[in-house]
């Protein structure tokens, strides 16, 4: 197991998180297309932190055990939190006039996603992808 | 994915060799297959990249990078594409629900036209869309009385249908107040005002025909005026009544009106779908209706309703713009 975290404070940090994510995905053996998917997922989560929580962390874990390889991305922030988690999972829901494609998109690009959020306390989104 | 890649490789090689239209047509059919299998756009670029490397091993590193760049761009497109597809699926589900709701509405809001010994009653109510925004409710006792409520919800679709169910429920719980048209409207107004959205309004014409006294009393909440044909005078008069639409203000009062009904008189109650003519601005719909009725006054009430519908539909080139409802009562 190998774990890296990137502090998200500026847009450049989003770029760094992407870069690390792509490297880790590549190291696990994901093909170019899946690397691009994982990177895009990281990007969406990091951008949400930057936009809605201002600061937070993106953790990237590489799991390599016998017969199982996967990447875990966890986005953690102590921002305003999400009021209705069910709604943000639906296509087209946005409070910022965005496309609202971010979170549902991440859900589709990855294999699993869990959102934990309390209003006023912050948000944690954990998402994984297995190597097939 | 491997199998698709093999197919793709063969097609691409054929095209590079022959560059014929046939090759491209095959590619188009293949694309259709890809879409059916939900293959994401970024995967297609991925396939293309791999195949290129196989068939042209001398491709430069720069070209491979360019493909990676395109994959990155396509991931974003792919996300939007999938969101779109899930919305389409949701829409199909909504359509299905809508159909079920329309069926339920039809059952729930089915109007039974009373068959009475001394009074002939007919009705036609045709929606232009799935859900009918008009509703007719009768309450009758043979040789004693018949009440009729003709309603039109301003607003369409599911909210209108739900609102209509409220109206029906309200009318069914009237008990002994059914004889007093203004009072009926006041009750229904309160029901709607309290429980229905602000943007929802209902117009209603309520009439109480006392068969023994041979009087027709009525009140109207912003509804299309009814017509009374007097057989004795061979003349039509308008049954107008002032009153605000239902659901606007909580304590609206409605005026009481009454006419005497004589042998062979006819009462025609309708919704504005009957009188609104799209293609004939200068046309007076009421003149047309009175002419048709007068000419055919010996037909039964039901035959008259059907005739009115057919003639008006024809006048409008069979493209009615609103739900069409007419009720005819003949003594
Ligand atoms: N980390 C977060 N903290 C607080 N709210 C969040 C966070 N992430 C997402 N949200 C809320 O969830 C909504 C949906 O997010 P999502 O990423 O799906 O769409 P978007 O950011 O509005 O638009 P897009 O990402 O398509 O440009 C956001 O509008 C925002 O209100
Ligand atoms: Mg977003």
The single residue listed with the structure tokens 């095209």 is B15
Averaged confidence pLDDT in chain B: 89
Domain A2-130 classification at class level: alpha beta
pLDDT of B122 > 90? The answer is yes
B290 and B155 in a common domain: yes
Q: For strand B235-239 and strand A122-130, is the pairing parallel, antiparallel, or unpaired?
A: unpaired
pLDDT of B9 > 90? The answer is yes
Average pLDDT of the residues in B258-274? 93
B225 and B314 in a common domain: yes
Residue B189: closest CA among B173, B175, B204: B204
Where does residue B155 fall: left (phi above 0), alpha (psi -120 to 50 degrees), or beta otherwise?
Answer: left
Per residue in B226-249, pLDDT (tens digit) is 999 999 999 999 998 989 999 889
Residues in A 21-50 with any Cβ partner in B closer than 8 A: 31-33, 36-37, 39-40
In eight-state DSSP terms, residue B253 is -
Cβ pair B83:A40 closer than 8 A: no
Q: Which residues of A touch B70 (CB under 8 A)?
A: none
Note whether B329 and B121 are within 8 A (CB): yes
Note whether B256 and B216 are within 8 A (CB): no
B218 and B96 in a common domain: no
Q: Residue B246: its pLDDT value, please?
A: 92
Nearest to A33 among B71, B76, B83 (CB): B71
pLDDT of B174 > 90? The answer is no
Residue B251: closest CA among B189, B168, B299: B189
Q: Assign residue B219 the CATH number of its domain.
A: 3.60.40.10
- What pTM value is reported for the model? 0.66
B79 and B116 in a common domain: no
B175 and B96 in a common domain: no
Average pLDDT of the residues in A41-67? 95
Per residue in A56-109, pLDDT (tens digit) is 999 999 999 988 999 999 999 999 999 999 999 988 888 888 877 899 999 999
Which of the four pLDDT bands, split at 50, 70 and 90, describes residue B282? low
Per residue in A6-30, pLDDT (tens digit) is 999 999 999 999 999 999 999 999 9
The single residue listed with the structure tokens 């594409």 is B81
Q: Residue A97: its pLDDT value, please?
A: 81
User: What is the Cα–Cα distance from B178 to A100, expressed in whole angstroms?
Assistant: 53
B199 and B125 in a common domain: yes
Q: Residue B165: its pLDDT value, please?
A: 86
Residues spanned by the domain of B178: 110-330
Q: What is the ipTM of this complex?
A: 0.84
B312 and B188 in a common domain: yes
Q: How close is the Cα of B225 to the center of ligand 2, in Å?
A: 55
Using CA coordinates, name the residue in chain A closest to B43: A33
B117 and B37 in a common domain: no
Question: How close does chain A come to B273, measured CA to CA in Å?
Answer: 37
Q: Which residues approach ligand 1 with their CB closer than 6 A?
A: A 44, 48-49, 52-53, 77, 79-82, 88, 93-96, 98-103, 123
Q: Residue B192: its pLDDT value, please?
A: 87
Q: Residue B204: its pLDDT value, please?
A: 96
B71 and B184 in a common domain: no
| Three-state secondary-structure class, residue A62 | strand
B310 and B261 in a common domain: yes
Nearest to B76 among A40, A91, A92 (CB): A40
Chain-centroid distance, C-alpha A68: 21
pLDDT of A32 > 90? The answer is yes
User: What is the Cα–Cα distance from B131 to B161, expressed in whole angstroms?
Assistant: 7
Cβ pair B83:A36 closer than 8 A: no
User: What is the Cα–Cα distance from B278 to B316, expressed in whole angstroms?
Assistant: 7
Lowest mean pLDDT among A123-132, B3-12, B193-202: B193-202
- Counted domains in chain B: 2
B313 and B217 in a common domain: yes
Q: Assign residue B63 the CATH number of its domain.
A: 1.10.1240.30
Which of the four pLDDT bands, split at 50, 70 and 90, describes residue B279? low
Per residue in B193-206, pLDDT (tens digit) is 887 777 778 999 99
Which of the four pLDDT bands, split at 50, 70 and 90, describes residue A129? very high
Q: Which residues of B touch A41 (CB under 8 A)?
A: none
Note whether B148 and B206 are within 8 A (CB): yes
B127 and B199 in a common domain: yes
Q: Residue B283: its pLDDT value, please?
A: 66
The number of C-beta contacts closer than 8 angstroms across A and B is 42
């Amino acid at each position: 197991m190998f774990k890296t975290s990137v502090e998200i404070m500026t847009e450049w940090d989003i770029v760094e998180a992407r870069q690390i994510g792509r490297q880790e995905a590549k190291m696990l053996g994901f093909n170019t297309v899946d690397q691009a998917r994982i990177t895009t997922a990281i990007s969406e989560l990091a951008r949400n932190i930057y936009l809605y929580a201002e600061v937070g962390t993106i953790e990237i874990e590489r799991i390599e055990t016998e017969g199982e390889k996967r990447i875990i991305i966890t986005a953690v922030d102590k921002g305003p939190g999400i009021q209705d988690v069910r709604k943000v999972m639906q296509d087209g829901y946005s409070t910022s006039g965005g496309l609202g494609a971010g979170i549902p998109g991440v859900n589709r690009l990855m294999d699993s996603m869990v959102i934990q959020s309390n209003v006023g306390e912050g948000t944690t989104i954990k998402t994984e992808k297995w190597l097939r | 994915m491997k199998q698709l890649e093999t197919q793709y490789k063969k097609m691409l090689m054929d095209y590079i060799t022959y560059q014929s239209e046939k090759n491209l047509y095959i590619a188009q059919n293949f694309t259709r297959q890809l879409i059916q299998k939900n293959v994401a756009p970024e995967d297609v670029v991925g396939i293309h990249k791999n195949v290129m490397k196989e068939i042209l091993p001398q491709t430069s590193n720069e070209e491979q990078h360019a493909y990676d760049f395109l994959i990155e761009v396509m991931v974003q497109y792919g996300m939007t594409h999938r969101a779109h597809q899930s919305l389409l699926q949701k829409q199909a589900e909504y359509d299905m629900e809508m159909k079920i709701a329309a069926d339920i509405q039809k059952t729930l809001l089915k109007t039974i036209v009373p068959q009475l010994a001394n009074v002939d009653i007919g009705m036609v109510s045709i929606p232009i869309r799935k859900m009918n925004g008009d509703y007719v409710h009768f309450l009758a006792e043979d040789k004693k009385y018949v009440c009729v409520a003709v309603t039109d919800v301003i607003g369409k679709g599911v909210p209108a249908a739900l609102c209509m169910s409220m109206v029906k429920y309200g009318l069914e719980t009237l008990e002994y107040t059914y004889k007093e048209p203004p009072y009926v409207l006041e009750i229904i107004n309160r029901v709607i005002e309290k429980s229905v959205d602000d943007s929802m309004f209902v117009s209603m014409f309520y009439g109480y025909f006392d068969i023994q006294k041979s009087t027709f009393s009525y009140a109207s909440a912003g509804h299309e005026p009814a017509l009374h044909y007097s057989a004795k005078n061979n003349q039509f008069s308008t049954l107008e009544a002032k009153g605000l639409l239902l659901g606007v203000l909580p304590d609206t009062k409605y005026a009481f009106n009454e006419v005497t009904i004589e042998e062979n008189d006819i009462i025609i109650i309708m919704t504005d779908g009957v009188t609104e003519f799209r293609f004939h601005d200068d046309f007076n719909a009421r003149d047309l209706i009175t002419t048709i009725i007068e000419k055919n006054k010996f037909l039964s009430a039901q035959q008259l309703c059907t005739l009115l519908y057919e003639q008006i539909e024809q006048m409008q080139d069979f493209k009615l713009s609103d739900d069409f409802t007419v009720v005819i009562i003949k003594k």
